[in-house]
A and B are shown apart, each in its own frame.
Chain A
Amino acid sequence: MDKEMELITKPMKVINIGIDSFLESLKIQGVEVVHVDWRPPAEGDSKLIEILDKLEFL
């Protein structure tokens, strides 16, 4: 079995970064999952990101 097939046929271990709903759907399917509570800085607002950058806090 090549590596690509192993990926979809063997039990998966997932690291979910950010979006909660992906975490929930994996859990429902019985997938072993570790969640990283992450979100983009300033919720992705480019104007605020620019300010944070200029203040040297990024």
Chain B
Amino acid sequence: MTSKKELIEAANRQAVEKMIASRPFVVDVKPAIEAVAGMKERMVCHAGPPLELDEMVPSFKHAIFGGIMWELWAKTPEEAERLIRDGKVAIEPNHHHNGIGTMAGITTPSMPVFIIEDRTHGFRSTANIREETVKALRYGCYDENVKRKLDWNRDVLGPVLSAALRECGGIDMVPLMGKAMHMGDDGHNENRAANLLFCMQLIPHILKTDFSKDVMREVATWMNTDTRFVSTAEMAVCKAITLAAHNIENCSIVTTMCRNGTYTGIRVSGLEDQWFKAPAPEVNLLFFPGYGPKDATKDCGDSCVTEVAGIGAFAMAAAPGMVQFVGGTVADAINYTKEMYEITTAKNTNWTIPYLDLQGCPIGIDIIKVVKTGLTPHINTSIGHVQPNVGQVGAGMTRAPLKCFADALEAFGKLMGA
């Protein structure tokens, strides 16, 4: 008779093999209403696990109101709030729609989104597109500049990217991100190498489209100005990879981990779509000048999908220079990666780390290993101001709360008859 341990280990092996076999391509950019699974005409998707309006921090709430005002469903934050409370606008997590969004993660029907297609398993995921670097909707800012940039994303950037991506047949992201890691990216907060490689591949195809020279120049300039332009596409790649591992019987691998400034939530492959939430942790931050601890939200955003797919903080040994952005020492960066081998299931040979003798990144967070060791996933992250209309205040390191994994293990144990 097969033991429980053997059943779980076989399921976990299957999950990581599927993750490593994934081959996500960026294939198109379309409005969310056409591209996001289950998106409705009056819906705003947000980061993290589900939460009520009254549980949100002010900047997170304002980001949702900003999305509603940008869609012209309301003229003021008060009107926007009324629409939600009256049930006239639905708010749902991006992860319920196979999507991700950074920080507050706002996705509304008219926003253009990257479409990712896993050509091994057929899964599709989506991600919204950054409109600004520091004072942006995802940080709870909504003003004339944000509105103008969101308009430009919808009217100019989206159509140009769509045409170029269709012209080139899609961009194969696994080798691109692997190369970027050899150039110093971690894939979460350091994306400059991937951005360059993405621009190298896509810009020649932009030049083949029928858009005017001025439009093409504007788009190429923005793709190079925002050095993390491609980051959300990378996160959607990670989302597609984690979709391949979800819903496997007896599997204790984490397939979702996200935060919204109020809660951190995880989902586990063998536990269907059940959320396990705990209060979001504070982030150990390097602040921008003029800001301090009282200004920062707690951990926020869907971006730690990168850690679930084994990059980000899990790959910091590939990007030790980024400690200048998130704090700590080069030795810390290397230790973050080394420690994460203790709570994961495999090494991803697609994404290797030169400094660690080209070992694969640690992939497949196992709730059993997390609870047994007490080592929770490291996450590197940016952080916004707790109040609306300020923007990013710094970046730093945190760890997912143990309670999510302990609660998940209890449910998993029950399911397994333990």
Binding site for B on A (CB under 8 A): 39, 41-43, 45, 47-48, 50-52, 54-58
Contacts and interface: CB of A to CB of B under 8 A. Distances in A.
Q: Chain A interface secondary structure, helix, strand, loop or mixed?
A: helix
B203 interface: no
B410 A51 contact: yes
B409 interface: yes
A55 B371 contact: no
B341 to A, nearest CB: 14
Nearest to B416: A55
Contacts, number: 44
Interface stretch (B2-10, B17-25, B120-128): B2-10
Given A42-B371, A55-B418, 7 more contacts: A41-B373, A42-B374, A45-B406, A48-B371, A55-B4, A55-B413, A57-B368
A57 B6 CA distance: 10
A56 B4 contact: yes
B372 interface: yes
A39 B90 CA distance: 45
20 contacts: A39-B373, A41-B372, A41-B373, A42-B371, A42-B372, A42-B406, A48-B406, A48-B409, A48-B410, A51-B409, A51-B410, A51-B418, A52-B409, A54-B413, A54-B417, A54-B418, A55-B5, A55-B8, A57-B5, A58-B372
- The prevalent SS among residues of B at the interface is helix
B372 A56 contact: no
B374 to A, nearest CB: 5
A45 B167 CA distance: 57
Nearest to A40: B374
Contacts of A57: 5, 368, 372
Given A51-B418, A55-B368, A55-B413, A43 B5 contact: no
| Contact-size category for B | 10 to 19
Interface string B388-418: 0000000000000010001001100100111
Contacts of B410: 47-48, 51
Contacts of B418: 50-51, 54-55
Nearest to B252: A55
Nearest to B5: A56
A26 B76 CA distance: 62
A58 B373 CA distance: 11
B413 A51 contact: yes
A48 B4 CA distance: 16
Contacts of A43: 374, 402
A48 B402 CA distance: 12
Q: Which one of B368, B372, B406, B417 has the highest number of Cβ atoms from chain A below 10 Å of its Cβ? A: B372
Contacts of A50: 418
Contacts of B372: 41-42, 52, 57-58
Contacts of A39: 373-374
Top 3 nearest A-B pairs by Cβ distance? A54-B418, A51-B413, A56-B5
Interface string B350-374: 0000000000000000001001111
